[in-house]
Structure 1
Amino acid sequence: MSEDILNKILEEIQSLKEGQTNLQSQLTEMKTSFQSQLTETKDNLQSQLTEIKTSLQSQLTETKDNLQSQLTETKDNLQSQLTEAKDNLQSQINELKNTQMQFAEKQDLMQIQLQETNQIVRAIRDRQDETDAKLDALSIDVHKLYGEDIAIKETQQKLIQGQERQDKILASLALHSLEQETDIRDLKRIK
């Protein structure tokens, strides 16, 4: 009988590990997609800059102000969304900790799971910090590259579309989080 319990516990731990691996994979895919979009946008804007630079000199000052304002707003929005995603992730970790307390007889195995979860969270935070640093560097580069270009109005539309994609991804992650919370509640009711 204790062997069955151990097998169930091992299956639960494996399931949690797979869920966390899937989450980490999704974060990596989001990062790759975002970097690809930024590279494509940069290439397109550089070619447009060469073609229209001479006709844009009279509107340079207004464009710089608009760009700075919109970049700051976009950065703030992205930072806010990243903070919300971190909070959601932290909330999920806390729920896992509460679940561990309810399984007192399985505490040793659950402690190993908690340590693995914390390592994954640290890795995600490290990657998130790297992503934040890259976003900051990209914001500076974008400001320098596009500060003299009225074509920023076209870039603004692309950034808004990117924001909408990020919102959809975050909504998907939030839905996934709610599904996990429902699964946890179901497990609590079974106990």
Structure 2
Amino acid sequence: MIATPEKLAASNKATVESLLSVSAAAMASAERLAALNLNTARAMIEDSMANLKALTEAKDPQAFVALQTSLVQPGAEKLVAYYRSVYEIASQNQEEISKLLESQFAELNKTMNAALDEAAKSAPAGSDAAISAVKSALAAANSTYDSVSKAARQVVDIAEANVSSATSAAVKAVGATAAKPARKSA
């Protein structure tokens, strides 16, 4: 198995291109997260000013408490929406990088099999068993990788369902708490 300079150069180029793709995906996610944070901060400031103005215009303590209580639910919903967006960005980034790495793994697998086939052609007599063992180990590694990938995808799906369920429950709980009338002190 002799590697020619052209093969090494092509392999290095593919590796660099793969790293650039992963870096570009990570940078795109960072840009989306930065934009989300800026928009959220802007909206939070605007909402805070509007809420503060509304609270200062309250005519009596009961109106103040009622207004304050009515502001809890929308704030909680916006917070949950923000975290959901952050989760979506992270999840999409992870998925995109996983796809890039899977394609790289498939390409590496293909290259390894081709190299083994080439080595088998020029190998001395009696080395068939060693090459078969390497191919068998490669097939086992591929099978393990596929199993782990499927299991990881199932874990991600379960986590996504749990996050969705938990955020919905949190919004409902905040809404129920905000809807309860304020107690009067005795």
TM-score of the two chains, using structure 2 as the length reference: 0.45
Give the TM-score normalised by the residue count of structure 1. 0.44
Structure whose CA Rg is larger? 2
**Larger relative CO (CA 8 A, sep 6+): 1 or 2?**
1
